[in-house]
């Protein structure tokens, strides 16, 4: 089996096959915790670390694990990594850990992680499995942060309002108040706002992809041949 190029892996994770916008995996935590950008960043980084570490581990043991038991072994690997991350967050980012709550251990059930372990890491070399985990994790994190930022901005008129939960007291200086005396828009913070925000993001990605495909099709047309309406 030929190994995919590094550029291809990056494009797949960040855009072409983005877990949150294209594969639509991990939607439960994505919709639940993105009431602001920092919550999304915290869960996104935890997911990124899990994806990267599990991909590398699965790639390392892919020639040792028998095919009949590979899925239980992959789940055990992922659960062990998530437990380490959960304990670390509880120790060093306790307030953020309390806010994210059950969605940290539920990373184990994220279909994107077990999917990458089965479809990619178990079939490719360690370096490519590492890059795939980073790319997929970064793509998922970008969606979490973008959706959280949108909801926070519309709902509260601020950005990075709880940055101190991740960056300590210095984080309080990072808070941006974009609208003074903003009364807020409650719908953006409530669950329906998460569905609407994600829908707009997916629509935006589809529009961009459609325009890129149209431009690519126009470039392949012979000179002088009119394009279809």
Please answer whether residues 179 and 67 qualify as being in contact, where contact means their C-beta atoms are separated by less than 8 angstroms: no
Residue 226 has a pLDDT of 56
Is 228 domain-assigned?
A: no
Question: The tokens of 47 are what?
Answer: 């997911």
Residue environment code for 36-45, b if the CB has 16+ CB neighbours within 10 A, otherwise e = bbbbbbbbbb
Residue 229 has a pLDDT of 46
Structural domain count of the chain: 1
Is 1 domain-assigned?
A: no
Q: Residue length, the chain?
A: 229
Is 152 domain-assigned?
A: yes
Residue carrying the six token digits 């009431």: 35
Smallest Cα–Cα separation from 6: which of 87, 124, 101? 124
Is 162 domain-assigned?
A: yes
Instruction: Give residue 179's domain range.
Output: 6-219
Is 229 domain-assigned?
A: no
Rounded Cα distance between 127 and 121, Å, is 10
DSSP 224: T
Residue 184 has a pLDDT of 87
Is 79 domain-assigned?
A: yes
Question: The tokens of 76 are what?
Answer: 């055990």
Is 202 domain-assigned?
A: yes
Rounded Cα distance between 72 and 81, Å, is 14
Please answer whether residues 64 and 125 qualify as being in contact, where contact means their C-beta atoms are separated by less than 8 angstroms: no
Is 158 domain-assigned?
A: yes
Residue 179 has a pLDDT of 82
Question: The tokens of 204 are what?
Answer: 């935006």
In percent, the amount of the chain with pLDDT more than 70 equals 96
pLDDT tens, position by position, 106-135: 999 999 999 999 999 999 999 999 999 999
Question: The tokens of 207 are what?
Answer: 């529009």
Smallest Cα–Cα separation from 52: which of 135, 166, 141? 135
Tell me how crowded residue 160 is: count the other CB atoms within 10 A of its CB: 21
> Tens-of-pLDDT digits for all 229 residues of the chain?
578 999 999 999 999 999 999 999 999 999 999 999 999 999 999 999 999 999 999 999 999 999 999 999 999 999 999 999 999 999 999 999 999 999 999 999 999 999 999 999 999 999 999 999 999 999 999 999 999 999 999 999 999 999 999 999 999 999 999 888 888 899 999 999 999 999 999 999 999 999 999 998 888 766 555 555 4
Rounded Cα distance between 204 and 18, Å, is 14
């Amino acid at each position: 089996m030929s190994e995919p190029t590094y550029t291809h892996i990056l494009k797949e994770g960040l855009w072409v096959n983005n877990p949150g916008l294209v594969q639509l995996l991990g939607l439960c935590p994505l919709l639940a915790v993105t009431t602001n950008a920092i919550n999304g960043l915290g869960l996104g980084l935890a997911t990124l670390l899990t994806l990267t570490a599990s991909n590398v581990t699965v790639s390392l043991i892919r020639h040792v694990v028998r095919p009949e038991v590979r899925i239980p072994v992959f789940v055990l690997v992922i659960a062990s990594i998530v437990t380490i991350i959960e304990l670390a967050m509880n120790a060093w980012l306790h307030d953020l850990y309390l806010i994210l709550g059950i969605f940290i251990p539920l990373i184990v059930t994220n279909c994107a992680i077990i999917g990458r372990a089965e479809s990619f890491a178990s079939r490719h070399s360690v370096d490519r499995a590492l890059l795939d985990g980073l790319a997929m994790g970064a793509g998922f994190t970008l969606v979490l942060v973008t959706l959280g930022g949108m909801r926070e901005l519309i709902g509260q008129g601020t950005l990075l309002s709880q940055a101190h939960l991740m960056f300590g007291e210095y984080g309080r200086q990072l808070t941006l108040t974009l609208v003074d005396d903003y009364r807020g828009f409650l719908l953006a913070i409530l669950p329906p706002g998460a569905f609407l925000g994600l829908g707009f993001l997916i629509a935006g990605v589809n529009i961009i992809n459609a325009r890129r495909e149209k431009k690519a099709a126009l470039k392949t047309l012979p000179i002088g041949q009119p394009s279809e309406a």
